[in-house]
Structure 1
């Protein structure tokens, strides 16, 4: 064996280990990367009015399309929300008869927003807690 010349088949684990120890922490940084805050979802909570509008608007559109099945409890609605849904759907059907589908959609949007805002006037639903 010649001094200073490595033997064939012999590995040098030290340089590889040093490389891994030096590089591995760079890829495992737990801090957010630049720009990550711009892509993260909002931490803002959805207001009760927005939830009401979303839920009732969805079911009103389903009712108008003939795809809604089940009673208000199966839809996840309270009794008061069901009253809003019933009124919105009736007004939208009437408007659809006069002006078509676009008119019905406008009624759903406007009436759902108005009635949900009235229901949550003062920060919470009016009346009994289960309504």
Structure 2
């Protein structure tokens, strides 16, 4: 008496296993990038100014909405970026009292762009990385 799969069943299992394996491998293999592929994103390195504007703008809006918590390091900001954030939020709060939310948003946008450009206009701040 023989235990296990009959010889005939093993022959059928092998081609099926090979077919499944080849199909899975073909589906997982990377496709070489094509120059005209509209779905692939174009690489665009983020400049220090763009990064600063994005971070400060986000956290300023969160602060004004009362949703920001944590210190500057938890927000991913340097000490210098935190100084910009503090100044921008203070100016936006003053403007919000005078002209409402739209005025505060204009101040956030203008002050963030100006201060980040001043900070990173020469290629980046100097000194310690957290300054």
Q: What do you get for the CA RMSD once the two structures are aligned?
A: 2.4
Aligned to 1:121: 121
After TM superposition, give the deviation of residue 33 of structure 1 in Å: 6.4
TM-score normalised by L of structure 2: 0.71
Could you list the runs of 5+ residues in structure 2 that have no partner in the other structure? 1-22
Distance 1:71 1:29, change over 3 A: closer
Equivalent pairs, count: 106
Tell me which structure has the larger Cα radius of gyration: 1
Could you list the runs of 5+ residues in structure 1 that have no partner in the other structure? 1-23
Alignment of 1:5-84 (within 5 A): 30-32=31-33, 35-36=36-37, 38-84=38-84
TM-score normalised by L of structure 1: 0.71
Q: Which runs of 4+ in 1 moved over 3 A?
A: 27-35, 126-129
- The Cα offsets for residues 51-107 of structure 1, whole Å up to 9 and x where unpaired, read as 000001000000000001111111111110000000000000000001110110010
